[in-house]
A and B are shown apart, each in its own frame.
Chain A
Amino acid sequence: MRVNFIKFKTKPENEILELIKDKNNIGIVICNGCYEKLSLENFSYQCKEIINLLTTRNKNLLFCLKLNFLCNSYFNKQKIITAYNDYPYVEVVGVVSCGIGVQFVADIVPKETISFTDSVQPSYNSTAGVIQHGINLNNLTFCATCGECYLNYTKGICPIVYCSKSLLNGPCGGAKNGKCEVDKTKDCGWEKICKKLENEDLTSFMNSVLIRNHNIMNYSQHKQNVDNNLEIRINNFYGGVHPVEKKEITEDIAIKKFPETQFLTLFLLQHTGKPSIPLVKEGDYVKIGQKIAKKDGLISSNLHSPVSGKVLGFKEVLHPKLQKKLPAVVIENDFKENITDEIKPCSEWTKLPKQQIIEAISEAGIVGLGGAVFPTHVKLQPPKPIHTLIINGCECEPYLNADNRIMIEHSEEVFEGVKIIKYLIEPKKILLVIEDNKPQAIQKLNEIKPEGVEIVVLKTKYPHGAEKILIKKLFNVYIPYDKIPLDFGFLVQNVSTVFAIYNAVVKGLPLIERIVTISGEEKIKKEYGNYKIKIGTVLKDILQKCYNKEFLTDEFKIKYGGYMTGTEIEDFTTSIIKGCNGILIIKKYIEENHQNKCIKCGRCVDVCPMELEPLEFVKCYQKGSLSEANRYNIKTCIECGCCQYVCSSKIPIVDIIKKEKSIME
């Protein structure tokens, strides 16, 4: 049996006509509904009925606003106000939605608001307010949210939901042939329970008298729940999720050096912009730190050899982030650790001119190590003056601890790096932002923080680490998709990048290694931890060392990068690039599949930090009309993965969005 989850039906025709009999200019706000099969049609039948009715009676229909999840006042408010302001002479605004939508519209529209619909319970008949969870539209299980669960005594059949009177004991009129007195087609809930209990020892059940405590849901208790929930949900910014952190797996493991491996694969494109131009050829001997590829133009980056040895040649390897085959240099390590003499430490950088420091950073091939891999020397030469420097130590991704360990073990170096950036761009204000799930790092940083640096501790919530969200949260400044924070006078640098800047300027080291967290499920653990890994180390070697391969079966998937934003990888010949901050192996229970049906639960809308409607992108993809996706601001999407994480139908929304974006380009 399929449950009918439609929450509202239109009122009788004569009642509607009576309500609008002396009104001519009418506006309509329609809710697209929730918990139903996503229809590709533009109007549901309720709306068609009403529009037909109004047009046949010669009413002047001024606007007809169709909105997703009308009850989500957060982003629907502005749309309704705009529509209303366009037609200020509207006499009455009719609403097709459940009661919440009607009350919400009435609250923001100063004209008379009327409801065209009666809201109805989803098909189940019970005196209890039954919640429709709707995670599966074919599921007949309900919960009455009574606040006192009896399922442990009744074998998983809820008496509150299935008894028409929600009885636990007391005056029932009696069931006949297993059917309830209220309706001859309704099964008696208690008879079902008794049948299930037949083979059980009933003494404990009989001894425990169930009495419902109605006071458990009293007003003040309820209000407190609502307030707590509200505080947690919009505390930092609209949307966002709280994934299971699992940081404790590698939190206390100090940074170790990953053992040298024999073959390294270095991609020529490890950064945003043009690929680097190779400077070596097959058979050349290279030393550690030797430049093997130079930047091509301004937005590009240098590449250095992380080991000493022979260049074996070039080959096309699957790029882990871009997911296509790209050229890479293969170097065979001779384990002699010959270091090039180009490396010149410089402890007195304050005496150098600014241009020379930027030159050093550019030479060292430093890019944004948080994941965006934008060349750092470009960021440090902003077109506009920078007023605020934000050092991003949020690391909101689950499992990862790379930045956390850097802040604990190398906090002095980080602050020295901050001083270098401060010298270069002279900001008015410097903030170091960190989430409250890293108490060790917070303590360490507070102990030694230099003057002028403010440490901001935020409540943990994903995705704080995204720079646009961070700026929105801290300064309430909204940065559109085609702008970057630099245009607004903000410079955001990741902690790892700051550490790399310190290494480049003070120690003269090019970017040849980075800290990577290697973690995952307990079952396949061999040696998890935070490793200092050479760029170019092949994934196969890492799997060999850190994971117990005999347990590595089909039920696991490898994530390159973080848990939320990482890409799933099946080709182990790919290698560590500059922007890689973690390798994870996690369980997959259910295949993500875009064939699954969206049931309009609205959770993706609820968690999108950019205030978009991800379900519309899926709809556009299924329809094949990309122009429509553009209307829903697909370019604003930061691909944080929140929608995919909560999706109750396990639709790979982010993959679909990425595909749509690439087709558009």
Chain B
Amino acid sequence: MFITKPKPEKEILDIVQPYEKLFYLICNGCNEVYVSIKDALNYSKILEKKHKVTVEILDYICNIDYVNKYLSFLSKEIENQDALIIFSCGIGVATLSSLVSEKKVFGICNTFYLTGYKGYNLPYEGKFDCALCGSCYLNYTGTICPITSCSKSLLNGPCGGAKNGKCEVDKTKDCGWEKIILKLKNLNKLDLLNKQIFI
């Protein structure tokens, strides 16, 4: 799961500066994530100061089948525009720019990762995560994942050292390996760590 946040105004205004007429597409897909339409529409007001902006709200711009249909509906409107700007995650921008070759396509959002691969785990959000690393270590680490709970995803090697159970990277972040050791101690299974060296 991920969220999108608009880039700083200056960066976008610099990019779209040469174009007069802009077609502004807002992706309202993944409607269950809070994609703030208000934020997106506010952005159009900023652009309207110097450009002519046509706004259109669509959903699931990431789906190539849908985008083809949208484009067939909107082709006339897009033809008259100088450039397309898109409020969506990176997938939406990439999909559209692969389909609209004759026009410039710009994205105005940065996409951020949210812990929990699909953003589920509602009461636990941020607690569990999976890096899909391909070799699961959970059976040997008391079901606490060292890949996602250690800042450096270490299995062994050069850690800068934890202080009071907190990671060197951020003072509010718990040290994953300390959690693992404590949990295994509770379970009386510390010998699991001696059995083999993880690589």
- Contact status B90-A147, CB under 8 Å: no
Contact residues, A201-239 vs B (CB, 8 A): 216-220, 222-223, 225-227, 229-230, 232-234, 238
- Contact status A648-B60, CB under 8 Å: yes
- Contact status B107-A129, CB under 8 Å: no
Give every chain A residue within 8 A of B3 (Cβ-Cβ): 225, 229
Instruction: Report if B45 contacts A (CB, 8 A).
Output: no
Instruction: Report if B96 contacts A (CB, 8 A).
Output: yes
Instruction: Report if B151 contacts A (CB, 8 A).
Output: yes
Which residue from B91, B97, B116 sits with its C-beta under 8 Å from A142?
A: B91
Instruction: Report if B178 contacts A (CB, 8 A).
Output: no
Assembled-state Cα–Cα distance A136/B59 (Å) = 13
Give every chain B residue within 8 A of A113 (Cβ-Cβ): 143
Give every chain A residue within 8 A of B65 (Cβ-Cβ): 136
Instruction: Report if B133 contacts A (CB, 8 A).
Output: yes
Instruction: Report if A607 contacts B (CB, 8 A).
Output: yes
Which residue from B32, B91, B97, B187 sits with its C-beta under 8 Å from A143?
A: B91
Which residue from A19, A69, A98, A225 sits with its C-beta under 8 Å from B132?
A: A98
Assembled-state Cα–Cα distance A103/B141 (Å) = 11
- Contact status B90-A151, CB under 8 Å: yes
- Contact status B122-A234, CB under 8 Å: yes
Count contacts on B: residues with CB < 8 A to the other chain.
78
- Contact status A69-B120, CB under 8 Å: yes
B 119-153 to A, binary, CB cutoff 8 A, 1 in contact else 0: 11111111111111111101100111100100100
- Selecting from A152-160, A422-430, A651-659, the interface stretch reads A152-160
CB distance from B108 to the nearest CB of A (A): 8
CB distance from A244 to the nearest CB of B (A): 5
Main secondary structure on B side of the interface with A: loop
CB distance from A119 to the nearest CB of B (A): 5
Instruction: Report if B159 contacts A (CB, 8 A).
Output: no
Which residue from A143, A158, A233, A245 sits with its C-beta under 8 Å from B34?
A: A233
Instruction: Report if B62 contacts A (CB, 8 A).
Output: yes
Give every chain A residue within 8 A of B110 (Cβ-Cβ): 147-149, 216
Instruction: Report if B175 contacts A (CB, 8 A).
Output: no
CB distance from A591 to the nearest CB of B (A): 9
Give every chain A residue within 8 A of B131 (Cβ-Cβ): 99, 119, 129
- Contact status A71-B91, CB under 8 Å: no
Assembled-state Cα–Cα distance A119/B130 (Å) = 8
Instruction: Report if A242 contacts B (CB, 8 A).
Output: yes
CB distance from B118 to the nearest CB of A (A): 6
Contact residues, B92-112 vs A (CB, 8 A): 93-98, 105-107, 109-112
- Contact status B93-A149, CB under 8 Å: yes
Which residue from A158, A225, A230, A645 sits with its C-beta under 8 Å from B122?
A: A230
Given contacts A135-B29, A136-B66, A244-B28, 15 further A-B contacts (CB under 8 A): A106-B142, A106-B143, A107-B127, A114-B139, A118-B134, A139-B95, A142-B91, A147-B112, A151-B90, A219-B172, A225-B3, A225-B114, A229-B3, A242-B31, A646-B31
Residues of B within 8 A of A (CB): 1-3, 7, 15, 28-34, 37, 57-58, 60, 62-66, 69-70, 73, 89-91, 93-98, 105-107, 109-136, 138-139, 142-145, 148, 151, 167, 169-170, 172-173, 187
